[in-house]
Amino acid sequence: MTTFTKIPKEIEEALKKEGRSTSRRDFLRSSGLLVVGIGAASVVHINAPTAAAQAAGPYPDPDFRQLDSWIVIREDNTATFYVGKTDLGQGTGTAFRQIMSDELDIAYDRTSLVMGSTDVTVDQGGSGGSDALQRDGWPVRRVAAEARRVLLELASGQFSTPVDRLTVSEGVITVAADPSKSVTYGELISGRQFNVSLTGDNVNATTGRARLKTVQELKIVGQSIQRYDIPPKVDGSLKWAVDVKLPGMVHARNVKPSVAGAQLISIDESSVQDIPGFIQVVSKGNYVAVICEREEQAIQAARQLQVEWRKPTTAPFPASDDLHRFMRDATPTSNGEPRVVGNPEASLAEAANVVEAEYYVPFQGHTSFGPAHATADPSDDQLTIYSNDMKSYGLRNGVAQFLRMPRDRVRVVWMDGPQAYGRTAADDAGFEAAFLANEIGRPVRVQWMRHEETAWDTKAPAYSFKMRGGLDGQGNLVALDYDIRSVDYNHVGYNEHDSVLIAQLTGVRRTPSAGRASTPSDKYAIPNRRMSTHVVSLPLIWETPLRTGNLRDPDGPQVTFAAESFIDELAAAANADPIEFRMKLLTASDDDDGGFKRARSIATVKAAAEAYDWDTRPSPRPRSAGDILTGRGFAYSYRSETVAAEIVDVEVNRRTGHVWVKRIVCAHDCGLVVNPMGLRHTVECALLHSLSRALHEEVSFDTEKVTSLDWGSHPSLTHADTPESIEVVLVNGDPNPDRPDLPHYGAGEASCKPLLAAVANAIYDATGVRIRRVPFRDARVLAALDSADV
Enumerate binding residues for other proteins (CB under 8 A): 88-90, 226-227, 229-231, 233-240, 242-243, 245, 276, 294-296, 299, 367-371, 416-420, 447, 449-450, 677-678, 681-682, 684-689, 691-692, 710-712, 716-724, 726
| Residue placing its CB nearer to other proteins in the complex, 238 or 341 | 238
Smallest separation, CB 567 to other proteins (Å):
26
Residue of 379, 425, 423 lying closest to 254 (CA atoms): 425
CA atoms within 13 A on the CB side of 307: 26
Sheet holding 250-254, edge to edge: 278-284, 287-292, 250-254, 444-447, 373-377, 383-387, 410-414
Q: How many CB atoms lie within 10 A of CB 590?
A: 8
| Residue placing its CB nearer to other proteins in the complex, 418 or 746 | 418
Smallest separation, CB 224 to other proteins (Å):
9
Smallest separation, CB 418 to other proteins (Å):
4
| Residue placing its CB nearer to other proteins in the complex, 370 or 633 | 370
- How many angstroms separate the CA atoms of 64 and 46, rounded? 22
Identify whether the C-beta of residue 679 lies closer than 8 Å to the C-beta of residue 657: no
Those residues whose C-beta lies under 8 Å from the C-beta of residue 317, and which sit 6 or more positions away, are: 260, 323, 538, 539, 540, 544, 546, 701, 703
| Residue placing its CB nearer to other proteins in the complex, 208 or 365 | 365
Smallest separation, CB 415 to other proteins (Å):
11
| Residue placing its CB nearer to other proteins in the complex, 72 or 220 | 220
Those residues whose C-beta lies under 8 Å from the C-beta of residue 448, and which sit 6 or more positions away, are: 254, 371, 372, 373, 425, 429, 456
| Residue placing its CB nearer to other proteins in the complex, 411 or 689 | 689
| Residue placing its CB nearer to other proteins in the complex, 26 or 296 | 296
| Residue placing its CB nearer to other proteins in the complex, 92 or 642 | 92
Smallest separation, CB 49 to other proteins (Å):
41
If you ran DSSP here, which 8-state letter would residue 10 be given?
H
Smallest separation, CB 722 to other proteins (Å):
4
If you ran DSSP here, which 8-state letter would residue 566 be given?
H
User: E strand or H helix at 601, and its extent?
Assistant: helix 597-612
- How many angstroms separate the CA atoms of 351 and 472, rounded? 5
| Residue placing its CB nearer to other proteins in the complex, 372 or 563 | 372
| Residue placing its CB nearer to other proteins in the complex, 189 or 395 | 395
Identify whether the C-beta of residue 686 lies closer than 8 Å to the C-beta of residue 754: no
| Residue placing its CB nearer to other proteins in the complex, 85 or 148 | 85
User: E strand or H helix at 471, and its extent?
Assistant: strand 463-471
Q: How many CB atoms lie within 10 A of CB 266?
A: 10
- Three-state DSSP class for residue 173: strand
User: What angle do the packed helices 755-767 and 676-695 form, to 10 degrees?
Assistant: 60
- How many angstroms separate the CA atoms of 80 and 193, rounded? 13
Those residues whose C-beta lies under 8 Å from the C-beta of residue 152, and which sit 6 or more positions away, are: 163, 166, 168, 173
Q: Which residue type does 338 have?
A: P
Identify whether the C-beta of residue 346 lies closer than 8 Å to the C-beta of residue 532: no
3-class DSSP string for 212-252: CCCHHHCCCCCCCCCCCCHHHHHCCCCCCHHHCCCCCCEEE
- How many angstroms separate the CA atoms of 694 and 753, rounded? 11
Smallest separation, CB 728 to other proteins (Å):
10
| Residue placing its CB nearer to other proteins in the complex, 10 or 329 | 10
Residues pairing with 271 in the sheet: none
Smallest separation, CB 613 to other proteins (Å):
21
Those residues whose C-beta lies under 8 Å from the C-beta of residue 510, and which sit 6 or more positions away, are: 496, 498, 499
Residue of 669, 272, 586, 251 lying closest to 443 (CA atoms): 251
Smallest separation, CB 245 to other proteins (Å):
8
Q: Please, what sign has the CA dihedral across residues 601, 602, 607, 608?
A: positive
| Residue placing its CB nearer to other proteins in the complex, 536 or 706 | 706
With b for 16 or more beta-carbon neighbours within 10 A and e for fewer, the 150-175 pattern comes to: bbbebbbeebebeeeebebeebbbbb
Smallest separation, CB 368 to other proteins (Å):
7
Smallest separation, CB 630 to other proteins (Å):
18
| Residue placing its CB nearer to other proteins in the complex, 484 or 661 | 661
| Residue placing its CB nearer to other proteins in the complex, 203 or 299 | 299
Smallest separation, CB 451 to other proteins (Å):
9
| Residue placing its CB nearer to other proteins in the complex, 177 or 234 | 234
Tell me the C-alpha to C-alpha distance, in Å, between residue 291 and each of 254, 436, 447, 627, 708: 9, 9, 11, 56, 27
Smallest separation, CB 374 to other proteins (Å):
14
Smallest separation, CB 689 to other proteins (Å):
5
Query: Can you list the alpha helix ranges (DSSP code H) found in 657-715?
Result: 676-695
| Residue placing its CB nearer to other proteins in the complex, 100 or 683 | 683
Residue of 375, 340, 688 lying closest to 483 (CA atoms): 340
With b for 16 or more beta-carbon neighbours within 10 A and e for fewer, the 11-41 pattern comes to: beebbeebbbbbebbebbeeeebbbeeeebe
| Phi, psi at 395, each rounded to 5° | -65, -45
To the nearest 10°, report the CA torsion of 195, 201, 202, 208. -40
- How many angstroms separate the CA atoms of 65 and 208, rounded? 9
Smallest separation, CB 753 to other proteins (Å):
15
| Residue placing its CB nearer to other proteins in the complex, 284 or 681 | 681
Query: Can you list the alpha helix ranges (DSSP code H) found in 31-183?
Result: 40-43, 48-53, 92-104, 137-159
Smallest separation, CB 236 to other proteins (Å):
4
Smallest separation, CB 594 to other proteins (Å):
34
Smallest separation, CB 88 to other proteins (Å):
6
